[in-house]
Amino acid sequence: MRHCRQLIQLVFMASLILMGCQAEVQAPAELKTPAESQPEAGVQWLEPDKIVFASTPYFGAGLLTDEFQPFVDYLSKKLGRPTGLRIVESYEEMIQLIESKQVHLGVLSPLSYVRAKKNQPGLRLLASQDANGATTYSAYIITRTDAGIPDLQSLKSKRFAFVDKLSTSGYLYPMAELRGLGIEPEKFFSKVVYAGDHEKLIEWVLEGKVDAGATSSSAFNIMKGKAGQGQSLAIIGKSGRIPYDAVVANAHLHPEIVAKAKEAILNLNTQDA
């Protein structure tokens, strides 16, 4: 419980940064000028012929491609060099690809941002996403409307799914809520599994592969409109407010490229992407 609380405190501190860095408003102080970021002695800046952009895999490959490909095409034009979208398999892989310099620009969930920043202190925050004017979202625990599960205590001996241990809304916040109620998942549920992304988790709930699961309010709302699926889902737990994801630049990416990327994001018009 203490570890979970400490992580939430770290995410909260990160949220103070993220919510102050909305793309339409301002850039982080750490990116005021390229001159402020200098490489360590003997370290060369990355100036790749092709920029690689990736995101934590909160949806499946299809939805992620639909969401980010227009933005990646927009970046290609603004940066004046090819930019490609890389689909990663897990939250952990996303952090590893940043650390190994294989991903240059990307989107990280709040908890993944905290972990990635710890591994790569020079990771540069460009902006925070928002949705429909909102800067934060919630974590939901959901079940099917016909499952006969009216509340969290009714989940005893049921099958439960999280998204990933590096997911803020799909693990960290719901885990804290459950433990705050005296529920230890590995003992309370008959089975605990990890879906890997929010889209798959919601599908598992709908298909009856699990009885309930933890997801984000934004993922729930997107899936709710998919073929009327929302009518089959019930929310039995809420927690958060969680800042939307961070748009970041690799610590080793050349400051001139970072500055162009920052300018492109700050000037982004959704009609362009």
Cβ neighbours of residue 258 under 8 Å, at least 6 residues apart?
31, 34, 37, 124, 126, 249
Residue 190 has what pLDDT? Answer: 98
What's residue 50's pLDDT? 97
Q: Give the position of tokens 């490609």.
A: 84
48 closest CA partner among 103, 106, 121, 127:
103
Give dist(CA 123, CA 117) in Å, integer. 6
- DSSP letter (8 states) at residue 25: T
Regarding beta strands 124-128 and 159-162, do their DSSP bridges make them parallel or antiparallel, or are they unpaired?
unpaired
Three-state SS at 142: strand
pLDDT at 135: 81
User: 129 with 244: CB under 8 angstroms?
Assistant: yes
CA-closest candidate to residue 187, choices 152, 154, 156, 151: 156
Q: Distance (Å, rounded) from C-alpha 66 to C-alpha 10?
A: 31
At 186 the three-state DSSP class reads helix
The span from the CA of 174 to the CA of 169, in Å, is 7
Low-confidence ranges of the chain (pLDDT < 70): 1-43, 131-133, 226-231, 269-273
pLDDT of residue 21: 42
| Spatial separation of the C-alpha atoms in residues 175 and 186, rounded to whole Å | 11
Q: Biggest alpha carbon distance in the chain?
A: 63
Decide: helix, strand or coil at residue 16: helix
**Helices and strands: H and E segment counts in the chain:** 9, 10
Residue 18 makes CB contacts below 8 A (sequence gap 6+) with: 110, 113, 125, 128, 135, 243, 244, 246
The residue ranges of DSSP E strands in the chain, in sequence order, are 51-55, 83-86, 105-108, 124-128, 136-144, 159-162, 191-194, 212-216, 233-243, 246-249
> Which residue in 185, 166, 165 sits closest to 237, CA to CA?
185
Per-residue confidence (pLDDT) for residue 22, from 0 to 100:
39
Give bridge partners of residue 185 from the DSSP assignment.
none
- CA separation for the pair 108, 128 (Å, rounded): 9
For the chain, what is the radius of gyration of the CA atoms? Answer: 19
What is the spatial distance between Cα 194 and Cα 135, in angstroms, rounded to a whole number? 27
